[in-house]
Amino acid sequence: MVILTLNCGSSSVKYQVYDWDKKDVLATGIVERVTLGGSTITHKARGKADYTVEHECPTHTVAVELILQTLTHPEFGVIADMSVIKAVGHRMVHGGSRFAKSSIIDDEFLAAFRELNDLAPLHNPANLTGVEAAKAVLPGVPHCAIMDTAWHQTMPAHSYTYAVPRDWEEKYMVRRYGFHGTSFLYNAKRAAVLLGKDPFACNLIIAHIGNGSSINAVKDGCSFDTSMGLTPLEGLVMGTRSGDLDPGIIFHMMRKAGLKASEVEKALNKESGVLGVTGKWADRRDIEQAAEKGDKVAILAQEIESYRIKKYIGAYYAALGRVDALIFTAGVGEMGPVTRKLATAGLENLGIVIDEKKNELAKCRNAELDITGPGSKVKVFVIPTDEELVMTEDAFALMNGSYDVHTKYRYSFQSRDYVNKARAEGLERDLVKKPYLKDIIAKLP
C-alpha cells in the first residue's frame, strides 16, 4: 500500500511516496515555478537516477498530474499505476483554533478551512488549490489534512493571548497559533527517545531554522509556547521575513513613505529578514561564504539572526524552568554550524554548552547528532526533521480509523528500534566521505 503526501505552496508542490508495507520512502520530489512559467519537476527515486525535466504547469492541477505521470513513468517511476495509492496527506498551514488534530478532508472541512483564508492569505489558498487539484486527479481515495497549527493547541491561554482589545480574539480570531507543528512533533518524540525518557516527562526547546524559522518551548511533551503568532511573520529573523518588530514601524512607513498596507505586508514577508539586512542574500550559505571573506553586512546578518534565536532560548528556558534538551532542526538548524555556535555562545550559565569541534562537523541530513559540550547540563542535539513521515502516519491512521491527538497516539518513530531506511543508506554513503560522523552520532541511553 502506498501513501502520497503533498505540500502545496503558492508556486510549488513538494511530494513524497511511501510504501507503508515496507516502511520505506520510494520517491521524493518537487515541482517548481507552478503558475509562473518555466516549471520543472525534480524527482528522486530509490535506486534510480535523479530525474529533472521542464514541463509547463499553469495550474496546480497540471502539477499534480505531472507528479502522478512521473510516479508511473516506465523508467523513473516507482509505482505501476494509481490504484496502489490508498491515501493522500496534505500539509495545511493554518487551522486556526478549529482544528486541534489532523482531519479527513470532506466538504464540511473545506468550507471551514476556507473561512480561515484571511489568517494565512499567503498559504491557505495555495493549500486549498493543491487539495482540489489532487482530489480531481485522485477522487477515489481519502485525502487527509495535516495541520501546521494543530501541535500548538495545547498552549495555555497566557501563551497564546495577545494584550489587545478582548473582542479582537472573539470577533477576528486574533491570537497566537504557531506553525511548523509537524516538525516540532517529530523532533519532540525523537528527542524523548534519545534522552531515554517518557515523552511527556520532557522539557525541550526546539529551534526549527530554515527559510521560515520558529522556536518552540515544549513542556511535559506538549507545546507550551512558540515564536510564530497569528501568522508566520512573528518571532525569529528569517530568510525574507522580519520576525519581531515594533508595530509602530508599520504606521511610520505608511505615513512617511506613503506605503499601502499590502505593500508593507509584502515588504515584511518577502523583502526583510536576512535578505533585508544584506540587500541581496536570503540563502544562509551565501551569507556564510561572504562572511568568511569578511563581508561586514553578511557578518551583521549572521549576528542579528543568531542573537534573536539566543534571546528566545533564554526566554523559553525561563518559561520552562527546566530544560532536558535543546534541538536544532530544518535546513539551517541541521546544516548551519555558524548559526548554532553564535546562538548558544554565552549560555554556559544556563547549563547549555556545545562542543565546538563536534558542532563544526555536524553537517548531515541522515543522522541524529549529539553536539553537547563538556559539563553541559542540557543535551544539545541536531535532529533531521521528517514532516513527511508525520503526514504519512497521520494519513494512514485517519484512513483506518486509529488516529488521535499525539497525547493519545504513538508514532512508529517513537520506538527505540525505529530506522529510516533511506537515511540509513544515505548515512552509509556519508560515512565513507565523512568517517568522523560516527563519533558524533547520538547514542541511545
Name the β-bridge partners of 104.
144
Specify the pTM: 0.94
Class of domain 181-383: alpha beta
By the 8 A CB rule, do 162 and 309 touch? no
270: closest CA among 234, 230, 241, 236? 241
Question: SS3 for 366?
Answer: coil
Contacts of 159 (CB under 8 A, 6+ apart): 176, 224, 225, 226
Classify 245 as helix, strand or coil: coil
Band the pLDDT of 264: cuts 50, 70, 90: very high
For 294, list phi and psi in degrees, rounded to 5.
90, 10
Residue, of 99 and 181, whose pLDDT is higher = 181
Kindly report the number of other CB atoms within 10 A of residue 309's CB atom: 25
CA distance 184 to 150: 11
pLDDT in tens, 362-399: 999 999 999 999 999 999 999 999 999 999 999 999 99
- How many angstroms separate the Cα of 88 from the Cα of each of 7, 133, 137, 183, 409? 11, 12, 11, 19, 20
Question: Among residues 131, 25, 84, which one has the least CA distance to residue 425?
Answer: 25
pLDDT score of 47: 82
Position 231, amino acid: T
pLDDT in tens, 386-439: 999 999 999 999 999 999 999 999 999 999 999 998 899 999 999 999 999 999
Fold of the 2-147 domain? Nucleotidyltransferase; domain 5 (3.30.420)
Q: Give the DSSP letter of residue 244.
A: S
CA 190 to chain centre: 15
- E runs forming strands in 236-388: 325-329, 369-370, 379-382
Q: 63 or 314, which is more confident? A: 314
Average pLDDT of the chain to the nearest whole number: 93
User: DSSP secondary structure string, 273-296?
Assistant: HHHHHHSS--SHHHHHHHHHTT-H
Of 21, 81, 148, 286, which is the active-site residue? 148
C-alpha cell at 261: 498596507
* Cβ atoms within 10 Å, residue 73: 16
Backbone φ, ψ for residue 320 (5° rounding)? -85, -30
For 92, the 3-state DSSP assignment is: strand
Give per-residue pLDDT as tens, 162-171. 999 999 999 9
SS (HEC) of 202-220:
CCEEEEECCCCCEEEEEEC
- All cell numbers assigned to 355: 562542543
Q: Quick check: 188 and 218 in contact, CB under 8 A?
A: yes
Looking at residue 100, its pLDDT comes to 85
% of residues, the chain, pLDDT over 90: 77
pLDDT digits (tens, 9 = 90+) for 205-252: 999 999 899 999 999 999 999 999 999 999 999 999 999 999 999 999
Residue type for 252, please?
H
Q: Which of 117 and 373 is assigned the larger pLDDT?
A: 373
Q: How far apart are CA 147 and CA 17, in angstroms?
A: 19
How far from chain centre, in Å, is Cα 368? 17
- Whether 148 is a known active-site residue: answer yes
Q: What pLDDT, in 10s, does the model give residues 190-209? A: 999 999 999 999 999 999 99
Q: How far apart are alpha carbons 192 and 187 in whole angstroms?
A: 9
In the chain, what are the domain boundaries? Answer: 2-147, 181-383
Mean pLDDT of 35-63: 89
Whether the pLDDT of residue 9 is over 80: the answer is no
The CA distance from 297 to 310, in Å, is 20
What whole-number distance in Å separates Cα of residue 344 and Cα of residue 327?
A: 11
Angle CA(368)–CA(388)–CA(49) in degrees, nearest 5?
Answer: 85
C-alpha cell at 375: 559539563
Q: Report DSSP state, residue 161.
A: -
